[in-house]
Amino acid sequence: MAGHVAPQAEKRRAKRSPIGSAPGTLIADPKAHPTRMRATLVSPDGIRTIDELALDAVPDLRKHWPLIWVDCVGLGTVETIEGLGGIFGIHRLVLEDIVNTGQRPKTDLFDDYAYVVLRMFDSVHRSVPEQISLVFGTGFVLTFAEDEGDCFDPVRQRLAVGGRLWSRKSDYLAYALLDAVVDAYFPLLDAKSDAIDRMEDELLAGASKEQASVLHHMRREIIQAKRWLWPVRDAIGTLMRAEHPFIHAETRIYLNDTYDHAVRVVEMTETLRETLTGLIELHLAMSQAKINEVINLLTIVSTIFIPLTFLVGVWGMNFDTEDSPWNMPELSAYYGYPIALLVMLAIAVALVAYFRWKKWL
């Protein structure tokens, strides 16, 4: 663990509307990627994918296909997002939440559609997730991601091979996408759990200064993840309990399974946070114990040399045996020097033996 430095946390600053701007104002982040649309058209007979979808082609595609999934990557082109909102009748406040990243995970229900915003991890190597917005209603599903790369590949593969997704409605496709987002949390938390286990083994082998910064960095990451993941349970629960015609009873059963996964995710983050808190306390206790051992050793060494210093100080005083026999007559002894060394050695050995008997050494 020596020389290990805690990695720098990846930062993603939230984009918000300017203070005092009118509700529903769409202002793109200057750093946001241009919006690129992909479409997956679904029918009971098969699917069709369009990698580069033009906005003016959406109304006609919606007329001829029972289910259309428009996947938008990048939030930098406000005109495209506004155009989609106009085609599918999405409220401007919802469009504002889509453009302004940093939203708290939630579900907003409207008469004709539902809006769900979550945090998505597309890789176990990313410590900060991106915002993913999902809007679905009768015959359509819209997803809006900040960057290229998502966790929807399993859903795309299921669409490619056919099966249940071809014959179900938009609410089932929305469930499959939400379930993929929630399931993507597990590899990340498993990786964090493995890292914490390794850190625990290293800590038990011996505490070091570098471990303190790593432990605090890991705990900060888990606390941030808990803040993002905790509302996911409520967002899925709201959708599961919704009584809307575009959410069918059978889909609620599957949403209940996703809700259970969200509960497990929250429990895992809480367990990891408590484990890291315990490791930090253990590190402090081991560091304090190590300091106490050093202090005890220095105290014992000082205690051994106190009587020796006293004897050396006494024998080092100026005496004259010619003036009086009480003026340290042993200073003139023939074997005085070796006797003095043996006396001091005997005192030191006796003190060491006493400390070992008391189990102070």
Q: Per-block average pLDDT, block size 10, for the chain (361 residues)?
A: 41 56 74 92 92 93 94 92 94 92 91 93 69 94 91 91 87 94 91 90 83 88 86 92 89 93 93 91 85 85 88 80 75 80 88 83 72
SS (H, E, C) 330-355: HHHCCCHHHHHHHHHHHHHHHHHHHH
Domain boundary among 238, 266, 285: 285
Residues 280 and 295 in one domain: no
| Radius of gyration (C-alpha) of the chain in whole angstroms | 36
Asked if 21 contacts 27 with a C-beta cutoff of 8 angstroms, the reply is yes
User: What CATH number does the domain containing 69 carry?
Assistant: 3.30.460.20
Domain boundary among 261, 285, 309: 285
Residues 281 and 291 in one domain: no
Report the number of distinct structural domains present in the chain: 2
Whether 11 maps to a domain, the answer reads no
A 10 A CB-CB count for 320 gives 9
Residues 212 and 110 in one domain: yes
Residues 94 and 236 in one domain: yes
Residues 145 and 278 in one domain: yes
Q: Which amino acid is at 99?
A: V
Helix segments in 135-248, DSSP class H? 153-161, 164-167, 170-183, 185-205, 209-240
Record the tokens describing residue 260, joined without a space.
């259970």
Residues 278 and 291 in one domain: no
Whether 66 maps to a domain, the answer reads yes
pLDDT at 286: 85
User: What's the rounded Cα separation, in Å, for the pair 8 and 313?
Assistant: 58
Tell me the residue range of the domain where 66 lies: 36-285
Asked if 212 contacts 283 with a C-beta cutoff of 8 angstroms, the reply is yes
Residues 213 and 268 in one domain: yes
pLDDT at 299: 87
User: What's the rounded Cα separation, in Å, for the pair 306 and 313?
Assistant: 11
Domain boundary among 257, 285, 313: 285
Residues 338 and 266 in one domain: no
pLDDT at 8: 41
User: What's the rounded Cα separation, in Å, for the pair 196 and 186?
Assistant: 15
User: What's the rounded Cα separation, in Å, for the pair 146 and 81?
Assistant: 13
Residues 72 and 93 in one domain: yes
Residues 153 and 93 in one domain: yes
Cβ neighbors of 62 (< 8 A, separation 6 or more) are: 68, 87, 139, 140
Site of tokens 């993002």: 228
Asked if 164 contacts 176 with a C-beta cutoff of 8 angstroms, the reply is no
Residues 270 and 332 in one domain: no
